[in-house]
């Protein structure tokens, strides 16, 4: 039970840390690498991430 609280706390901390640079980095990344929707990269990337998450979930 306590391990779950630690994991949740760490996840919330990462989300909080990410919320600080995201508004600044997102426009820079789009200018640097392009818009994923326009370039057709979002769906294959999302499918790969989902596949990894599902395979990790099956191991636990």
3-class secondary structure for 11-57? HHHHHHHHHCCHHHHHHHHHHHHCCHHHHCCHHHHHHHHHHHHHHHH
| Domain ranges, ordered by start, for the chain | 2-59
What six digits make up the tokens of 10? 């760490």
Query: How does pLDDT run across 7-58, given as a tens digit for each residue?
Result: 888 888 988 888 888 888 888 888 887 776 666 777 788 888 888 888 877 7
Residue 1: what pLDDT?
59
Task: Give residue for tokens 């057709």.
Answer: 40
At 3, is the pLDDT very low, low, confident or very high (cuts 50, 70, 90)?
Answer: confident
Question: pTM of the entire structure?
Answer: 0.41
Are 33 and 42 a contacting pair, CB within 8 Å? Answer: no
pLDDT at residue 36, as a whole number: 65
Tell me the two tokens of residue 4.
């779950």
């Amino acid at each position: 039970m306590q391990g779950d609280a630690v994991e949740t706390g760490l996840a919330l901390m990462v989300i909080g840390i990410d919320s600080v640079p995201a508004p600044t980095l997102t426009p820079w990344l789009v200018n640097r690498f392009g818009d994923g929707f326009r370039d057709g990269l979002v769906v294959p990337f999302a499918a790969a991430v989902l596949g990894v998450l599902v395979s990790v979930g099956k191991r636990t």
